[in-house]
Amino acid sequence: DTAVSQTPKYLVTQMGNDKSIKCEQNLGHDTMYWYKQDSKKFLKIMFSYNNKELIINETVPNRFSPKSPDKAHLNLHINSLELGDSAVYFCASSQPGFNRDTGELFFGEGSRLTVL
């Protein structure tokens, strides 16, 4: 029933490790996003995909690699984790268009990553 679901919800790992976060949406939306929320709750866009095509890459380090196998899934792989990567990562989806009803982003519940 969950519209946008992310796994895992919590991730604790050591510096230098590689980890992945998975996201799936069942809303039939064409566009998916990854946002990062830091310890001060600041939300910043990282990536956006539309129909499996990368649209936005917001100067994120190359260690972060998103992958969209199909338009319902957007995964995030992070290599060589650093302390500063500790944050809550949110996946979201939207249905693009110019209709007054479009524009809403539907967020998942977040994946809290802690790098030790």
Partner 1 sequence: QQQVKQSPQSLIVQKGGISIINCAYENTAFDYFPWYQQFPGKGPALLIAIRPDVSEKKEGRFTISFNKSAKQFSLHIMDSQPGDSATYFCAASIFGGATNKLIFGTGTLLAVQP
Q: Which of 20, 45, 52, 73 binds partner 1 (CB under 8 A)?
A: 45
Q: Which of 85, 108, 113, 115 binds partner 1 (CB under 8 A)?
A: 108
Give 21's Cβ-side CA count (13 Å radius): 32
d(CA 79, CA 61): 10
Give 48's Cβ-side CA count (13 Å radius): 14
Cβ proximity to partner 1, 4 vs 115, nearer residue? 4
**Residue 40 interacts with partner 1 (CB under 8 A): yes or no:** yes
Positions 75 through 94 that interact with partner 1 (CB under 8 A): 90, 92, 94
Q: Which of 20, 77, 105, 114 binds partner 1 (CB under 8 A)?
A: 105
Cβ proximity to partner 1, 69 vs 100, nearer residue? 100
Stretch that binds partner 1, among 12-20, 39-47, 62-70, 71-79 (CB under 8 A): 39-47
Task: Point out which residues bind partner 1 (CB under 8 A).
Answer: 4, 30-31, 33, 40-45, 48, 50, 55-56, 90, 92, 94, 96-98, 100, 102-105, 107-110
